[in-house]
């Protein structure tokens, strides 16, 4: 639930920051929850938190959405 909220918040923030440039910390790419646990705990949320994301959270979300994750430069998602 928090992950879905965070993705929507990151997308909104990314769109609103198009005219700005900010420095983000490197994303944390280790640790976290095992995939099967994440799938078992997924849910849909109908309410959104108004609290801003931290730079670390934003960095991780943006990397998960379109970060380079291979030595050959390929990304976590294909380009549009």
| Residues, the chain | 80
Instruction: Say what the pTM is.
Output: 0.55
Can you tell me whether residue 75 is helix, strand or coil? strand
Given its phi and psi angles, is residue 44 left (phi above 0), alpha (psi -120 to 50 degrees) or beta?
Answer: beta
Per-residue pLDDT tens over the stretch 49-78: 899 999 999 999 998 898 888 889 888 888
Task: Tell me the domain boundaries of the chain.
Answer: 1-23+53-80
Average confidence score pLDDT of the chain: 83
Distance of CA 10 to the CA centre of its chain: 6
**Residue in this structure with the two tokens 């849910």, named with its chain if needed:** 43
């Amino acid at each position: 639930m928090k992950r879905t909220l965070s993705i929507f918040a990151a997308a909104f923030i990314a769109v609103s920051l198009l005219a700005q440039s900010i420095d983000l910390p490197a994303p944390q790419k280790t640790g976290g929850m095992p995939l099967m646990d994440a799938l078992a705990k997924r849910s849909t949320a109908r309410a959104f938190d108004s609290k801003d994301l931290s730079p670390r959270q934003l960095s991780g979300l943006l990397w998960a959405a379109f970060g380079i994750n291979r030595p050959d430069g390929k990304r976590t998602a294909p380009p549009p």
